[in-house]
Structure 1
Amino acid sequence: MPAIHVRLGALSAALAILAATSSGASAQKKYDTGASDTEIKIGNIMPYSGPASAYGVIGKTEEAYFRKINAEGGINGRKITFISYDDAYSPPKTVEQARKLVESDEVLIVFNPLGTPPNSAIQKYMNQKKVPQLFVATGATKWNDPKEFPWTMGWQPNYQSESTIYAKYILKNKPDAKIAVLYQNDDYGKDYLKGFKDGLGAKAASMILMEESYEVSEPTIDSHIVKLRSTGADVFFNITTPKFAAQAIKKNMEIGWRPLHFLNNVSSSIGSVIKPAGFENAQDIISSNYLKDPTDKQWEKDAGMMAWNQFLDKYYPEANRADLSVMYAYTVAQGLEHVLKACGDDLTRANIMRQAASLKELELGGLLPGVKVNTSDTDFAPISQLQLMKFKGEGWERFGEILSGDVGG
């Protein structure tokens, strides 16, 4: 009998030693450049000036959110240093700023840099350097390519799936539509156009009367609108960024062109697009969303919206709460917070991408009910659901069910 006791004692002692050594091993902290016991350095690139400067509010909201995190003790005890540079939506400038962030500032990641052409310009560089280009602020389909670009990941629903949803709506509700398309002449505009044509399928050639492109450097798109109207189209697909979207809505009304108007969701903000264009000019426009619209009364008592308002009251009181970009920024910053928390003490760039590729049914306060964040090592498209909405009075009214972005071509 005593011999058994001795053996058990030895075994438990061995197990205790094993537990101590294994917990010691797992407690080892791992860092890459830009992370330490006290700090996580995050880089960001935004168009604070130039033709897409309406989006600059995204960087300002993120800066405020990281201040909130720091005030509450940081992430696993580490404070965030957020370094955000202006690229004026100019790809050569984006390259310059990305190099500065990676090579001079030595950031751990570049988070939520904005725009399709700017991100396209730095994608190869970020992947060569193996620095996460995480949750890019553009819905281009190409960010979901983990095989070729394992260090780049999108965030919002991709443009092709969004425009496929509009195309399917048109086929179902206006099968004899005569369509005019205005699009920005870059990867962003072409991506939307491709999804739209894929969605219309064989009918695209006969239904689309004109595809008119504009350059982001043009001061106004008025002449393009006049040209599109001359086709006699009764459906208008407006693939533009905020400044040009507001111009298009206004010009349509000025020249008395009232087609069924589809507006891409990157320009559905009431604050930066609809209000400047005039509420009366925007009636019945159809768009889509995956975020709660802060101007929508139905969310007044919603827990997620109340938390958003409390955050703004304290950290960004001057924010325009009607600007959907503020809600977008808040939500993507929460997504990053979730990923960084999940990293624990392994703040390596590889582990950040691992955690970002392991999001399962994540619900965030700013997302519409039923819209969840999901990723895997073969799927770098975190959000792929949308709901259609129509502009009525001074706000958007959602209709129909939550549609999956992978509705196919």
Structure 2
Amino acid sequence: MSVIAGIGIVALLAAGCARGGGGGSTETAAASPGITDDSITLGITTPLSGPTAGPGTCTVAGITAYFGAKNADGGVKFGDGKTRKVEIKALDDAYDPQKAAANYDQLKDSVFAMTAGLGTPTNRAWREAAIADKVPQVLIETGDPIFSDSSQSPWQLGFVPIYQNEGAAFGDLLASSSENHKVAILSQNDDYGKGYVEGFKSAIQGHDNIQIVKELTYEATDSSVDAQLTELAGTGADVFFNAMSITPLVISSLQKAQELKWLPSWFLPSNTSSPTAILQPGGAEAFPGVYTVSFAKAAASPAFAADPDVVKFLADLKQYANYPDTPAFPHCAWSYMIGATLEQVFAKMTAPTRDDFMSKLRTISGFQAPLMLEGTSVDTTKDGQPAVSSVIVQKYNGKGYANADAFG
């Protein structure tokens, strides 16, 4: 991670962007900012420093690797017959909304679109400005449903499943159990945490064998949640729904629960469930089950060691993103998929305009991007849903994850 963290404020080869909505455009339309006959430039604001730097650097590395390989082969062919190199300008926001908004202001006039950046509060910080400026803010890595609601704006689209979908997937799995369960909840006190809890509660509604015994929150700026863990452990809950986005806090929560001798089954969001970066340091093997959801092949999993997608992905990361290690976070794979999705959109564009880009972005359906798990796909045609809306529930087995067909 330290290799990529040095990216800082630099321009990187690679990138792409997506979704949206303006009207169609003609081939004679004036080109939008950030695109010429031989290149297209896309912007990213994402945490490259601070507690979320690990996943944040992946949001740049994956898309850099994808388009780095394409650029090396001559570039990407667009629907207007021109072949363009893809360039990315990436700026560090340290997961700070004010910095993210300043980064957008710095990038908006020189990039064609903004893409891939991580974070709900950071992406929200400049959403209204992007709408006013008619700059695409697409295929970003937040599950906030506001970015996938075209009735509010035609200029946004999320990439990863919305938080409600992830929460509901675990709720459905738990609801399939015939045993009685007591659930304790700790969630981030913002739209991120609220979305996960909303989805979970909707899925268990009407199941009398599942009881929520206590529900607490924490702030994303907190340095410890030990007090909350102690209070929740006192409930004796056998299931812990932990909607948390801060990597160090997830690790310390796993450790604190063991210190308190509270060993429930856990649910963790997809972006904070890395086996090597979080579960192993936190001693997750002590718990009867740690569950998460996914739509991407995990490069670190022995099950995918010889998978052609994974082999190429790791080679591209090393060669074109200077990322020599196997990623500990799924965000590298997600942004690699974003690159592949953007290429699909570029191939349909007949005019070098943001309007045409957004119009064509809405037409991708059933696309099996590299690294996608069987049973998932990219579909940008579902209003109110991000580009990826399907997930697979998985259970940690001490080294990686395996599909979870039942709870327990």
| Residue 298 of structure 1: how far off its partner (Å) | 2.5
Q: Distance in 2 between matches of 1:346 and 1:153?
A: 20
Q: Which amino acid aligns with 1:72?
A: D
The equivalent residue for 2:64 is: 63
Distance 1:31 1:41, change over 3 A: same
Q: Which amino acid aligns with 2:34?
A: G
Q: How many residues align?
A: 374
The equivalent residue for 1:358 is: 363
The equivalent residue for 1:264 is: 269
Distance 1:288 1:35, change over 3 A: same
* CA root-mean-square deviation: 2.3
Q: Tell whether 2:310 aligns with 1:305.
A: yes
Q: Which amino acid aligns with 2:195?
A: D
| Residue 377 of structure 1: how far off its partner (Å) | 7.0
Once the two structures are superposed, the pairs formed by residues 227-246 of structure 1 within 5 Å of their partners are 227-241=231-245, 242-246=247-251
The equivalent residue for 1:96 is: 102
| Residue 28 of structure 1: how far off its partner (Å) | 5.0
More relative contact order, 1 or 2 (CA 8 Å, 6+ apart): 2
Query: Which of 111, 118, 137 matches 1:114?
Result: 118
Q: What's the CA shift string for 1:90-122, capped at 9, x where partnerless?
A: 11221111111114xx21101122111111222
**3-state DSSP of counterpart to 1:119:** helix
Q: Contact between 2:145 and 2:385, CA under 8 Å: does it hold in 1?
A: no
| Residue 81 of structure 1: how far off its partner (Å) | 2.3
Once the two structures are superposed, the pairs formed by residues 21-32 of structure 1 within 5 Å of their partners are 28=28, 31-32=31-32
- TM-score of the two chains, using structure 2 as the length reference: 0.85
**Contiguous gaps of at least 5 residues in structure 2:** 1-24, 78-82
Q: What's the CA shift string for 1:357-379, capped at 9, x where partnerless?
A: 11011011210012111122735
Q: Distance in 2 between matches of 1:197 and 1:109?
A: 36
Q: Contact between 2:55 and 2:332, CA under 8 Å: does it hold in 1?
A: no
Distance 1:174 1:222, change over 3 A: farther
Q: Contact between 2:145 and 2:384, CA under 8 Å: does it hold in 1?
A: no
Q: Tell whether 2:340 aligns with 1:334.
A: yes
**3-state DSSP of counterpart to 2:205:** helix
Q: Distance in 2 between matches of 1:290 and 1:268?
A: 13
Query: Which of 358, 378, 385 matches 1:373?
Result: 378
Q: Distance in 2 between matches of 1:384 and 1:306?
A: 26
Q: Distance in 2 between matches of 1:394 and 1:334?
A: 28
| Residue 31 of structure 1: how far off its partner (Å) | 1.8
| Residue 278 of structure 1: how far off its partner (Å) | 3.1
Distance 1:339 1:109, change over 3 A: same
Q: Distance in 1 between matches of 2:280 and 2:222?
A: 22
| Residue 197 of structure 1: how far off its partner (Å) | 1.5
Q: Distance in 2 between matches of 1:264 and 1:204?
A: 25
Q: Which amino acid aligns with 2:73?
A: E
| Residue 45 of structure 1: how far off its partner (Å) | 0.6
**3-state DSSP of counterpart to 1:124:** helix
The equivalent residue for 1:145 is: 149
Q: Distance in 2 between matches of 1:85 and 1:312?
A: 19
The equivalent residue for 1:34 is: 34
| Residue 283 of structure 1: how far off its partner (Å) | 5.7
**3-state DSSP of counterpart to 1:135:** strand
Q: Which moved more, 1:379-388 or 1:90-99?
A: 379-388
Q: Which amino acid aligns with 1:88?
A: A
Distance 1:205 1:194, change over 3 A: farther
Q: What's the CA shift string for 1:309-350, capped at 9, x where partnerless?
A: 33134223423334322222212222222222322x522111
**Contiguous gaps of at least 5 residues in structure 1:** 1-24, 402-409
**3-state DSSP of counterpart to 2:125:** helix
- TM-score of the two chains, using structure 1 as the length reference: 0.85
Query: Which of 163, 178, 184 matches 1:180?
Result: 184
Query: Which of 220, 223, 241 matches 2:224?
Result: 220
**3-state DSSP of counterpart to 2:405:** strand
Q: Which amino acid aligns with 1:137?
A: E
Q: Contact between 1:267 and 1:273, CA under 8 Å: does it hold in 2?
A: yes
Q: Distance in 2 between matches of 1:26 and 1:135?
A: 24
Q: Tell whether 2:320 aligns with 1:320.
A: no
Distance 1:146 1:175, change over 3 A: farther
Distance 1:180 1:363, change over 3 A: same
Distance 1:254 1:126, change over 3 A: same
**3-state DSSP of counterpart to 2:266:** strand
Aligned identity (percent) is 28
Distance 1:355 1:175, change over 3 A: farther
The equivalent residue for 1:395 is: 400
Q: Contact between 1:146 and 1:377, CA under 8 Å: does it hold in 2?
A: no
The equivalent residue for 1:52 is: 52
| Residue 254 of structure 1: how far off its partner (Å) | 2.0
